[in-house]
Structure 1
């Protein structure tokens, strides 16, 4: 009986390790020389402190209409442990992912004005705007260089710049990888962190630059549900979501 229980526990552990190796998320952020640890997935939020919102699994979200698409499962505030990084507009943010295994698909970075304290905000109710993206950089869909390929080549990191003209306030920062290496099965990996932006900027995005999650993507979008192997020589790719807001 003890042997059976041990084997079961080992099997569960092996399954979790396989999931971690195959998938993942943002583990930490470097902002103006300060490193902020991310939320530790697969652990209780009790006792954790982070600028990142809770996310509970390394597994992808595969449905673009999933209610958790904004900030992953479950995207909740950490309450007393929820922190925000105070940075001036124009700063660079480096997201450190786990040892990322996928190289096919775009990288996208969004922000959303919380219109008050982000700790009290529901990510699904916010209006998001894109500040950075990289899709198919060169070559064809199968053998070309993608944004995720660049991320892997750079040590599983991604550097983005907060628009310098952005008005001060509390904002969510949302990093997302969309892996499309599996035919017609998108894999979304989003995580969110909280920022307090300072500076003298006055700009705010509006109109078509703003989207909701879920709602920004549809399964019918050409860059979401795609079989890259059916058109291996194609050299163009449409990144889903709105255009990048430059400020």
Structure 2
């Protein structure tokens, strides 16, 4: 799934509005429901060919601008990206300063990994942005993915058993998806 909707009210697809934002500044997503303490938090963007109102999020190429997995500690008692969002209710990221001006979808995503036997749970929302004052760059193909398709069921970061006897001794976590694009190749 690329977006719960394409940046507009649920059931209506894209909206007619895009929020203007300066490249290099912060944007904050506010969460109220479906928060879980275990799992990564990620943010992707996709450039729309023209207006995002007329774009289908499943046909766009996405690049990751931020991700936070296991911050410190072990899989069971450690601090996770989604755990921080769970405690604060917000996730703030910086729009890359080097990004080219234009219309984009932004995709905030929380991946809950607390139910290994049932598989990961994906909670994502999208919004439409108009990036201004950017540096004119776009990510190269190595950073681009599609939704669906960016993740595989076999990705180690999606197959974490928090209830295994080894989990309290594991202090590393492999984030799913591509590398974060910071504005350089």
Q: Deviation of residue 88 (structure 1)?
A: 1.1
Q: TM-score when scaled to structure 2?
A: 0.90
Q: Out of 146, 169, 177, which is 1:241 matched to?
A: 177
Post-superposition Cα deviations, 1:205-247, rounded to whole Å, max 9, x if no partner, equal 0121000001100111101132122231211111100000001
Distance 1:212 1:92 in 2: 24
Partner of 1:136: 70
Post-superposition Cα deviations, 1:92-151, rounded to whole Å, max 9, x if no partner, equal 001100055411000000000002110000101100000001000011111111011211
Distance 1:102 1:200 in 2: 34
Distance 1:219 1:79 in 2: 27
The residue correspondences of 1:202-217 to structure 2 (distance < 5 A) are: 202-217=136-151
Partner of 1:175: 108
1:85 matches 2:43 = no
Structure 2 unmatched ranges of 5 or more: none
Post-superposition Cα deviations, 1:37-66, rounded to whole Å, max 9, x if no partner, equal xxxxxxxxxxxxxxxxxxxxxxxxxxxxxx
Structure 1 unmatched ranges of 5 or more: 1-68
Write 1 or 2 for the structure with the bigger share of strand: 2
Partner of 1:158: 91
Aligned length: 177
Distance 2:67 2:37 in 1: 15
Partner of 1:26: none
Q: TM-score when scaled to structure 1?
A: 0.68
Partner of 2:126: 192
For the 8 Å contact 1:165–1:203, the answer to whether it is kept is: yes
For the 8 Å contact 2:35–2:82, the answer to whether it is kept is: no
SS in 2 for 1:152: helix
Provide closer, same or farther for how the CA distance between residues 76 and 200 of structure 1 changes in structure 2, counting only shifts above 3 A: closer
Q: Deviation of residue 82 (structure 1)?
A: 3.1
Which structure: larger Rg?
1
For the 8 Å contact 1:100–1:156, the answer to whether it is kept is: no
Post-superposition Cα deviations, 1:12-45, rounded to whole Å, max 9, x if no partner, equal xxxxxxxxxxxxxxxxxxxxxxxxxxxxxxxxxx
SS in 2 for 1:193: strand
Distance 1:80 1:178 in 2: 23
Partner of 1:111: 45
